[in-house]
Amino acid sequence: MVGDFSVGKTSLTQKFVNNVFSDKYLTTIGVKIDTVEVDDTKLIIWDVAGRDSLSPVNVSYLVGAAGVVLVADGTRPSTVENLFDIWSSVEKRIGDVPCVVALNKADLSDGWSVSEETVNSLHDRGWEIFKTSAKQGDEVGTLFETLARKIND
N-term to C-term CA, the chain: 20
| pTM of the entire predicted model | 0.90
Sign of the Cα torsion 88, 144, 72, 114 reads positive
Sign of the Cα torsion 90, 91, 93, 98 reads positive
Nearest to 20 by CA among 135, 98, 129: 135
Put residue 37 in one of left, alpha, beta given phi > 0 → left and psi -120 to 50 → alpha. beta
Find the farthest-apart pair of alpha carbons in the chain and give their distance in angstroms, rounded: 39
Question: Is there a contact between 59 and 94 (Cβ–Cβ < 8 Å)?
Answer: yes
If pLDDT is split at 50, 70 and 90, which confidence band does 122 have? very high
Map the chain to HEC letters. Answer: CEEECCCCHHHHHHHHHHCCCCCCCCCCCCEEEEEEEECCEEEEEEEECCEECCECCCHHHHCCCCCEEEEEECCCHHHHHCHHHHHHHHHHHHCCCCEEEEEECCCCCCCCCCCHHHHHHHHHCCCEEEECCCCCCCCHHHHHHHHHHHHHC
Q: What is the pLDDT of residues 42-90, one digit of tens each?
A: 999 988 887 765 456 677 788 899 999 999 999 999 999 999 999 998 9
Residue boundaries of the structural domains of the chain: 2-152
CATH C-level class of 2-152:
alpha beta
Average model confidence (pLDDT) across the chain: 89
If pLDDT is split at 50, 70 and 90, which confidence band does 112 have? confident
If pLDDT is split at 50, 70 and 90, which confidence band does 113 have? confident
